[in-house]
């Protein structure tokens, strides 16, 4: 789970203009290969409204990472942070399981605001020949989202700053 979040945040932390070289994308694909099968299908849903899901690429890490890059670029994210929690695993066989987890996600926007979105992942995972568990199917369910008025990237109150631990 954390490797997937790491890949999303790696793409989110390295925005690039459309058409520019994108070394972060290649690194994200490498990370995704450790947690997605080569044919993994990921679908994006927004809770409510009964809309059809958006399939996030045709399958596998090489298709999913560019989908994420395009999505993050289209919405103007300059950084992301995905925190995984409440992971529940139900084994369905010796090498298969259903996994559900909750995500708190933060997406920083170029204009100083940020978007907060609770997300639920509903996964089918399989144990690969190398012994690693990989996601073969993921439903990404965005419950709702909020956009803030802004943020301060450094403490505005000097009394809140982390004390120095080095010599004075």
* Structural domain harbouring 119: 2-151
Enumerate the β-bridge partners of residue 119. Answer: 103, 142
Q: Give the mean model confidence (pLDDT) for residues 129-150.
A: 90
Residue 167: inside a domain = no
pLDDT at 18: 80
Q: Which two tokens stand for residue 53?
A: 């899901």
Rounded to two decimals, the pTM is: 0.81
Q: Let me know if residue 108 belongs to a domain.
A: yes
How many CB atoms are closer than 10 A to CB 31? 20
* Residue 156 domain flag: no
* Domains identified in the chain, total number: 1
In a domain, 163, yes or no: no
Q: Look at residue 45 and tell me if it is in a domain.
A: yes
pLDDT at residue 167, as a whole number? 58
Does residue 37 form part of some domain? yes
pLDDT above 70 as % of the chain = 86
Residue 54 has pLDDT above 80, yes or no: no
Beta bridge partners of 33: none
- Report the CATH number at residue 16: 3.10.450.50
Q: What percent of the chain has pLDDT over 90?
A: 45
Residue 49: pLDDT band (50, 70, 90) is low
Q: Is residue 157 part of a domain?
A: no
3-state secondary structure 18-46: CCCCCHHHHHHHHHHHCCEEEEEEEEEEE
User: Quick check: is 128 in a domain?
Assistant: yes
């Amino acid at each position: 789970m954390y490797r997937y979040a790491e890949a999303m945040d790696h793409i989110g932390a390295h925005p690039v203009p459309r058409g520019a070289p994108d070394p972060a994308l290649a690194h994200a694909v490498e990370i995704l290969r450790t947690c997605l099968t080569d044919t993994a299908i990921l679908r994006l849903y927004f809770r409510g409204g009964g809309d059809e899901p958006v399939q996030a690429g045709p399958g596998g890490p090489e298709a999913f990472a560019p989908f994420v890059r395009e999505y993050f670029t289209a919405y103007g994210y300059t950084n992301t942070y995905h925190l995984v929690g409440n992971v529940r695993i139900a084994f369905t066989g010796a090498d298969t399981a259903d996994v559900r987890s909750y995500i708190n996600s933060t997406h920083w926007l170029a204009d100083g605001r940020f978007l907060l979105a609770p997300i639920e992942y509903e996964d089918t995972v399989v144990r690969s020949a190398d012994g690693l568990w990989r996601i073969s199917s993921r439903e990404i369910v965005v419950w709702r989202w909020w956009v803030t008025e802004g943020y301060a990237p450094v403490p505005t109150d000097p009394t809140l700053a982390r004390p120095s631990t080095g010599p004075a």
